[in-house]
Copies of this chain bind each other. A is one copy, B any other.
């Protein structure tokens, strides 16, 4: 049997990854921290098959070619080198959420692909090795390998740049209530965005403070201190979008409704509701709260004009093999 199926969860970063030391190796310029999202996942089956002429890919049942296949094949090349095999692979991937609109589909996709490919090759790797390998496909995929709340260490070499669990998913009952503002594919993917980070005059200043923000965020998670968490998470998200908007050319991921939601969140918080926001490279707003407040947050978001859907996710576990 040269086949395996893996499930990996999407993740939402609280301290963001934006920009690489090395674009090819996807070595980031700063460490990041995230939470896996329980019910947002990708299931990927990899079959290593010598009889194939070349790699093939289906996404949600549809045959994929062009850039999507190219990116997967490029990652498979790196895995083949690492696993010392030469077979082409048949890859079947399914997301249970929309792709390319700010819910990181590449994170869960490349984490699942990596775990399935390695397992199908009957190679045993540590979680750390799997995380570093997944990173080669998509930086944030490194964070979708370990369970729960996860820190991705910057590193200076391939082997040093991997993610590991800070605390398990059940340690803190944080919820990500995701306000979907657009389900269109974005104009500029994260992959294309990272190399532009260095063109912003503000990137170095953002990066300079990232390790300190990460320590504050990590400690706030360990202390279950939502107030400190709120301040550092919103600040870090604003800093990343400040860099994006001042890149050359500028990247504006926010839509008008995005701004409405951010303003509403600040208003709700001043009224006493414990909720904060964070945004990835997309217009959707991840509204983070404690489980008791999740219904309130969801209900309020649903009343806002321009919000087309709301998804609720608990903290999720590690990438794993499906039977």
Listed in ascending order, the chain A residues whose CB lies under 8 Å from chain B are: 201-202, 204-206, 208-209, 234-235, 238-239, 241-243, 245-246, 248, 250, 252, 254-260, 262-263, 266
Contacts and interface: CB of A to CB of B under 8 A. Distances in A.
Could you tell me the dominant secondary structure of chain A's interface residues? helix
Nearest to A244: B242
B252 A263 contact: yes
Contact of A257 (B201, B208, B256, B266): B256
Number of copies: 2
A308 to B, nearest CB: 15
B256 A259 contact: yes
Given A238-B245, A242-B246, A260-B256, A204 B205 contact: yes
A248 B235 contact: yes
Contacts of A254: 259
A235 B239 contact: no
Closest 6 CB pairs of A and B: A256-B256, A242-B242, A205-B205, A202-B202, A256-B259, A238-B245
A238 B255 CA distance: 16
A270 to B, nearest CB: 11
Contacts of A252: 259, 262-263, 266
A41 to B, nearest CB: 32
A266 B234 CA distance: 27
Nearest to A231: B248
A14 to B, nearest CB: 16
Given A202-B205, A202-B239, A259 B250 contact: no
Nearest to A207: B201
A245 B257 CA distance: 17
